Amino acid sequence: MDEHKEKIAKAAAVLAKYDVGKNLTFLVDDAYRHGVEGVEWDHNFKPKDVPNGDRVQRFTYNGKTFELIAANKHLTWDGEEYWSDFTLAIDGETVLTTVLQTSYGGEWTSREVSISTVLLKQVKLGDWMEELQVVCERCRENWNQIQKRMEEERLAKQASGIDLGKYGD
Protein backbone atom coordinates (compact mmCIF):
# COMPACT_ATOMS: atom_id res chain seq x y z
CA MET A 1 0.00 0.00 0.00
CA ASP A 2 2.81 2.42 0.86
CA GLU A 3 4.46 1.86 -2.52
CA HIS A 4 1.19 2.85 -4.25
CA LYS A 5 0.89 6.00 -2.17
CA GLU A 6 4.52 6.87 -2.93
CA LYS A 7 3.98 6.42 -6.67
CA ILE A 8 0.89 8.66 -6.62
CA ALA A 9 2.68 11.26 -4.47
CA LYS A 10 5.70 11.22 -6.80
CA ALA A 11 3.48 11.80 -9.84
CA ALA A 12 1.72 14.70 -8.08
CA ALA A 13 5.08 16.18 -7.03
CA VAL A 14 6.43 16.08 -10.59
CA LEU A 15 3.21 17.63 -11.93
CA ALA A 16 3.52 20.38 -9.30
CA LYS A 17 7.19 20.96 -10.14
CA TYR A 18 6.19 21.76 -13.73
CA ASP A 19 3.13 23.81 -12.66
CA VAL A 20 0.84 21.50 -14.62
CA GLY A 21 -2.26 22.26 -12.54
CA LYS A 22 -1.58 26.00 -12.63
CA ASN A 23 -0.88 25.97 -16.38
CA LEU A 24 -3.94 23.91 -17.27
CA THR A 25 -6.08 26.14 -15.05
CA PHE A 26 -4.66 29.17 -16.88
CA LEU A 27 -5.63 27.68 -20.25
CA VAL A 28 -9.05 26.48 -19.10
CA ASP A 29 -9.79 29.99 -17.82
CA ASP A 30 -9.63 31.17 -21.45
CA ALA A 31 -6.15 32.61 -21.44
CA TYR A 32 -5.54 35.15 -24.17
CA ARG A 33 -4.24 33.07 -27.04
CA HIS A 34 -4.42 35.05 -30.27
CA GLY A 35 -1.20 35.38 -32.22
CA VAL A 36 0.96 33.38 -29.81
CA GLU A 37 4.16 32.40 -31.61
CA GLY A 38 4.44 28.69 -32.35
CA VAL A 39 0.97 27.85 -31.03
CA GLU A 40 -1.96 27.22 -33.34
CA TRP A 41 -5.40 27.19 -31.70
CA ASP A 42 -8.32 25.25 -33.14
CA HIS A 43 -11.20 27.61 -32.37
CA ASN A 44 -13.68 25.24 -34.04
CA PHE A 45 -12.92 22.29 -31.76
CA LYS A 46 -16.25 20.99 -30.49
CA PRO A 47 -16.11 17.23 -29.95
CA LYS A 48 -19.51 15.61 -30.44
CA ASP A 49 -18.81 12.69 -28.15
CA VAL A 50 -18.24 14.77 -25.00
CA PRO A 51 -21.20 14.35 -22.63
CA ASN A 52 -22.13 17.51 -20.73
CA GLY A 53 -19.09 19.31 -22.15
CA ASP A 54 -17.89 22.00 -19.79
CA ARG A 55 -14.66 23.35 -21.31
CA VAL A 56 -12.86 22.08 -24.39
CA GLN A 57 -9.77 23.37 -26.19
CA ARG A 58 -7.37 22.12 -28.81
CA PHE A 59 -4.06 23.56 -29.90
CA THR A 60 -0.96 22.44 -31.75
CA TYR A 61 2.52 23.16 -30.48
CA ASN A 62 5.83 21.68 -31.57
CA GLY A 63 4.02 19.33 -33.97
CA LYS A 64 1.85 17.88 -31.19
CA THR A 65 -1.90 18.30 -30.75
CA PHE A 66 -3.03 19.04 -27.18
CA GLU A 67 -6.70 18.50 -26.28
CA LEU A 68 -8.10 19.76 -22.98
CA ILE A 69 -11.53 18.33 -22.26
CA ALA A 70 -13.70 18.85 -19.19
CA ALA A 71 -16.90 16.80 -19.34
CA ASN A 72 -19.60 15.24 -17.17
CA LYS A 73 -20.08 18.41 -15.12
CA HIS A 74 -21.93 17.67 -11.91
CA LEU A 75 -22.72 19.39 -8.62
CA THR A 76 -20.68 18.25 -5.61
CA TRP A 77 -22.40 16.69 -2.63
CA ASP A 78 -22.41 19.96 -0.66
CA GLY A 79 -23.74 22.04 -3.56
CA GLU A 80 -20.82 24.47 -3.35
CA GLU A 81 -18.95 23.50 -6.51
CA TYR A 82 -19.24 21.79 -9.85
CA TRP A 83 -16.74 19.11 -10.75
CA SER A 84 -15.98 17.90 -14.26
CA ASP A 85 -13.90 14.98 -15.41
CA PHE A 86 -10.79 16.59 -16.91
CA THR A 87 -8.63 14.93 -19.55
CA LEU A 88 -5.50 16.13 -21.31
CA ALA A 89 -4.71 14.14 -24.44
CA ILE A 90 -1.70 14.66 -26.68
CA ASP A 91 -1.90 13.30 -30.20
CA GLY A 92 -4.87 11.22 -29.10
CA GLU A 93 -3.11 9.65 -26.10
CA THR A 94 -4.44 10.49 -22.65
CA VAL A 95 -1.61 11.77 -20.44
CA LEU A 96 -3.67 13.15 -17.54
CA THR A 97 -7.10 12.45 -16.09
CA THR A 98 -8.21 14.37 -13.03
CA VAL A 99 -10.92 16.84 -11.96
CA LEU A 100 -11.75 20.42 -12.93
CA GLN A 101 -13.29 22.15 -9.93
CA THR A 102 -15.51 25.17 -10.63
CA SER A 103 -16.85 27.49 -7.93
CA TYR A 104 -19.37 30.25 -8.56
CA GLY A 105 -19.64 33.21 -6.25
CA GLY A 106 -21.84 36.09 -7.33
CA GLU A 107 -19.84 37.96 -9.94
CA TRP A 108 -16.84 35.64 -10.11
CA THR A 109 -16.07 32.14 -11.23
CA SER A 110 -13.06 30.22 -9.96
CA ARG A 111 -11.67 27.17 -11.74
CA GLU A 112 -8.88 24.80 -10.83
CA VAL A 113 -7.49 21.74 -12.56
CA SER A 114 -6.57 19.61 -9.57
CA ILE A 115 -3.36 17.62 -9.30
CA SER A 116 -4.24 16.50 -5.79
CA THR A 117 -3.14 12.97 -4.98
CA VAL A 118 -6.73 12.18 -4.06
CA LEU A 119 -8.17 13.28 -7.42
CA LEU A 120 -5.54 12.05 -9.90
CA LYS A 121 -6.94 9.17 -11.94
CA GLN A 122 -4.37 8.70 -14.70
CA VAL A 123 -0.95 10.25 -15.32
CA LYS A 124 1.71 9.66 -17.93
CA LEU A 125 4.60 12.02 -17.23
CA GLY A 126 6.67 13.26 -20.14
CA ASP A 127 8.05 16.15 -22.18
CA TRP A 128 4.52 17.49 -22.58
CA MET A 129 4.80 19.09 -19.12
CA GLU A 130 7.68 21.31 -20.25
CA GLU A 131 5.97 22.04 -23.56
CA LEU A 132 2.82 23.07 -21.70
CA GLN A 133 4.95 25.46 -19.62
CA VAL A 134 6.36 27.06 -22.76
CA VAL A 135 2.89 27.50 -24.28
CA CYS A 136 1.59 29.18 -21.12
CA GLU A 137 4.66 31.41 -20.80
CA ARG A 138 4.20 32.55 -24.40
CA CYS A 139 0.50 33.22 -23.81
CA ARG A 140 1.31 35.27 -20.70
CA GLU A 141 4.11 37.21 -22.43
CA ASN A 142 1.89 37.94 -25.41
CA TRP A 143 -0.95 39.16 -23.18
CA ASN A 144 1.43 41.32 -21.10
CA GLN A 145 2.70 43.01 -24.28
CA ILE A 146 -0.86 43.64 -25.44
CA GLN A 147 -1.83 45.07 -22.04
CA LYS A 148 1.20 47.39 -22.06
CA ARG A 149 0.36 48.60 -25.56
CA MET A 150 -3.28 49.17 -24.61
CA GLU A 151 -2.24 51.08 -21.48
CA GLU A 152 0.17 53.24 -23.50
CA GLU A 153 -2.59 54.00 -26.01
CA ARG A 154 -5.01 54.84 -23.20
CA LEU A 155 -2.49 57.16 -21.54
CA ALA A 156 -1.62 58.86 -24.85
CA LYS A 157 -5.31 59.50 -25.54
CA GLN A 158 -5.86 60.82 -22.03
CA ALA A 159 -2.75 63.03 -22.17
CA SER A 160 -3.82 64.46 -25.54
CA GLY A 161 -6.77 66.10 -23.82
CA ILE A 162 -4.63 67.83 -21.20
CA ASP A 163 -3.12 71.29 -21.75
CA LEU A 164 -0.62 72.25 -19.06
CA GLY A 165 -0.24 75.77 -20.45
CA LYS A 166 2.43 77.76 -18.67
CA TYR A 167 2.69 75.01 -16.01
CA GLY A 168 4.14 72.48 -18.43
CA ASP A 169 7.74 72.85 -17.32
pLDDT reported for residue 17: 97
Dihedral sign for Cα 22, 105, 33, 113, please: positive
Distance from C-alpha of 100 to C-alpha of 65, rounded to nearest angstrom? 20
Residue spans of the chain under pLDDT 70: 30-33, 49, 51-54
Residues 97 and 104 sit within 8 Å (Cβ to Cβ): no
HSE value, Cβ hemisphere, 13 Å, CA-based, for 35: 6
DSSP 165: G
Q: What is the pLDDT of residue 82?
A: 87
Confidence (pLDDT) at 94: 97
Tallying the residues shown for the chain, one arrives at: 169
* Rounded-to-integer distance, Cα 84 and Cα 98, Å: 9
